[in-house]
Structure 1
Amino acid sequence: MSAEKPDAWTDLPVLTSWHPTDPAAASHTALPAVRLHLTLTLRREPASVGQCRRLFDTTLIALNVGADCRDDIALILTEACTNAVVHAAGETYRVNLTVDRRRCVIEVFDHGTALHDTHLNWTAEDCEPLERLGTSGRGMLLIHALSDAVEWFHVQPHGLGVRMSKQLVWDADRRNPAPANPPRSVANAPR
C-alpha cells in the first residue's frame, strides 16, 4: 500500500497511514484494536495550536497511550502547528491525526511559500552547532529528534506538508480500566 502526496489543497480526506497493516498484528491481544482518523481545519492563529494539542492529547489519553509518548507527540504537533501559524500564508491550515495499533501519524498542511528544497531534509548534523540557528529552525530539529519518521514536501500549487510518525507506547496500567461506577441492572435499581 502506498500513499500519494496531495497535489492540491482540498478538503478531501488525505491518506495518512502509509504503512501497511500487518495482519499478524491483528491477533496480538496485548495491543488495543484501534484505528482513528481526525482531520481539523484550523484558523492560522496562535490559540489554534493549543486547542489542537489539547484535543489530540485528550484523544490519546482516551486510547490509553502512555504519558511520555503523549508528551513527545504533543511537542511534535506543537512545533509543526506553530510553524504553520508563524511562517505560512492564508487564513487556515489543516492537521490530520491517524492512530492505529502501532503508531500515530500527524500531518500538517499549510498555504505557505514552503521551505527551500535544501531545508526539506534537515538533520541534526546539518545544524551543528545548534547556536548557529538561533531560534529559527529549532522546531524542525525537535520534530526530527522526537519522530520516528519525518517527511516535508511541497503541496501544489503552493504550501508545505509535513508528515511525522511516532511508535506508540501504551499505558499498561490503564489498558483495561475497571469502570469507576459499574452500571446497575434495571432489576436491582432502587425504586
Structure 2
Amino acid sequence: MSIWWTLHLRREAASVPLARRLLLGTMETAGVDPDISYDLSVALSEACANAVEHGGDEARTGAPSAAYRVTAYLDGEKCLIEVSDSGPGFPVGRAAAPYVPLADGSSLSAESGRGLCLIEQLADHVHFGNRPGRGAVVSFDKILKWREDALLRVT
C-alpha cells in the first residue's frame, strides 16, 4: 500500500504547522515509528519555512507569489517529501556549502540557511534543486521504521 498527498499552501507562516500536522497524522495512522515521524516533520517544517520566506517571485514579476506546494509519499519502506516554490531558487553551489558548527556553538554559515542544513541532518537523502524560471525544489527522504502495534503497515 502507498499513501501520497499534495498540498497547495499560501506563503504564510500559518501554513507550516498545517503541513507538519498532516504529515504527522498520516505517519501515525500508518504506524510509523514516532522518532522517524518527528525527524521528518521537523525537516518538512524547515522546508516549508524556507518556501514561505524565500519562495516568492517578486524579483521576476513584481507581484508576490501566493502559494507553494508540498507533496509527501509513503511508499514501502520510504517516505519522500518534496516542497517546491516559485521563488528565485537556490544560489549556485548551495549544496556544497554545509553548515559547519564551531566549538563556541556558532557557525561559518550566514544567519539564514540553517534550516536546510537541519534537513540534511534529519533525512537520509536530500536534493536542493532549481526549476529554471520557476523556483526552488527541496526533496528529501528517509527509510521508515514501524511501530510494533501498527494498524496500517505501508509495505
Category of TM-score, reference length = shorter chain: 0.7 to 0.9
**SS where residue 59 of structure 1 aligns?**
helix
Match of residue 94, structure 2, among 104, 119, 123 = 119
Instruction: Specify every segment of 5 or more residues in structure 2 that has no aligned partner in the other structure, as ranges.
Output: 57-64
Higher relative contact order (Cα pairs below 8 Å, separated by 6+ residues): 2
Segments ≥4 residues shifted beyond 6 Å: none
Q: Does 1:157 align with 2:133?
A: yes
Aligned to 1:6: none
**SS where residue 132 of structure 1 aligns?**
coil
- TM-score (normalised: structure 1): 0.69
Aligned to 1:19: none
Q: Residues 17-69 of structure 1, C-alpha deviation per residue, up to 9 Å, x if partnerless?
A: xxxxxxxxxxxxxxxxx211101100000000001100110011000001100
**Identity among equivalent pairs (%):** 34
C-alpha separation between the residues in 1 aligned to 2:21 and 2:111? 24
Aligned to 1:166: 142
**SS where residue 112 of structure 1 aligns?**
coil
Letter of the 1:39 partner, please give it: T
C-alpha separation between the residues in 1 aligned to 2:51 and 2:117? 16
Aligned length: 141
Give the C-alpha shift of residue 158 in structure 1. 2.6
Which structure is higher in strand share?
A: 2
**SS where residue 126 of structure 2 aligns?**
strand
C-alpha separation between the residues in 2 aligned to 1:78 and 1:98? 16
Cα contact 1:105–1:165 (8 A) shared by 2: yes
Give the C-alpha shift of residue 121 in structure 1. 4.0
Q: Residues 65-100 of structure 1, C-alpha deviation per residue, up to 9 Å, x if partnerless?
A: 011001001111000000000111011000000001
C-alpha separation between the residues in 1 aligned to 2:84 and 2:136? 6
